Amino acid sequence: MKTILVSRAVSKPGWWMFGVAMIAAAWWGQPLIDSVHFENHFFGVFWYSMVVLGLMFWALPGEQYTDGTILERRTMLLGLVPVWRKSEPMSGFERVELTQEPNVFGKDSVWLSLINREDGETTRRFVFAYFPASQRGIAKAQQMAGDLSQISGLPFAQAAPEV
């Protein structure tokens, strides 16, 4: 049996919270449409166009997939049906790496990537997943990096620094 590894946006609580927030925003904007004043209708059209735009981004989450031979980035309709795919061979990368990036607001981010370097310079990078740089996030990142290294056969090059 072939082992696969998937990083999905729909498995993160933020994706679900954003969907609930968009539904709440649509419900909250009802008085703009039901009003007798023309100005409110104008603002209602603007409000609902922003809600629809947010729902379009929400309805097309991304996911990364690998079975050890290929890497695939997919855009999924509601996390269920693929609408766009891009595949790359795993042979184009030489190692699995965790890097920590400082954020201006909130916790830092830890990025799980597959890297190819030439002459000390990164020539190719495929970001597989990201995590908040909390103790739990770093532990999840290290676990997924180990799984990705094992599935792909590529060495795990570095661990993210502890918080």
Which residue is it, tokens 């039901």? 34
Residues 93-112: tens digit of each pLDDT: 888 888 888 777 777 888 88
φ, ψ at 122 (rounded to 5°): -75, 120
| pLDDT over 90 percentage in the chain | 9
Considering only residues 11 and 161, tell me which one the structure prediction assigns the higher pLDDT.
11
Considering only residues 71 and 3, tell me which one the structure prediction assigns the higher pLDDT.
71
pLDDT at 160: 46
- If we measure between CA atoms, which residue out of 96, 97, 98, 95 comes closest to residue 138? 98
Element spanning 9, H or E: none
Which residue is it, tokens 């166009």? 49
Considering only residues 42 and 111, tell me which one the structure prediction assigns the higher pLDDT.
111
Least confident of 36-50, 78-92, 93-107: 36-50
Tell me what the mean pLDDT of segment 22-26 comes to: 91
Q: Using an 8 Å Cβ cutoff, are 25 and 88 in contact?
A: no
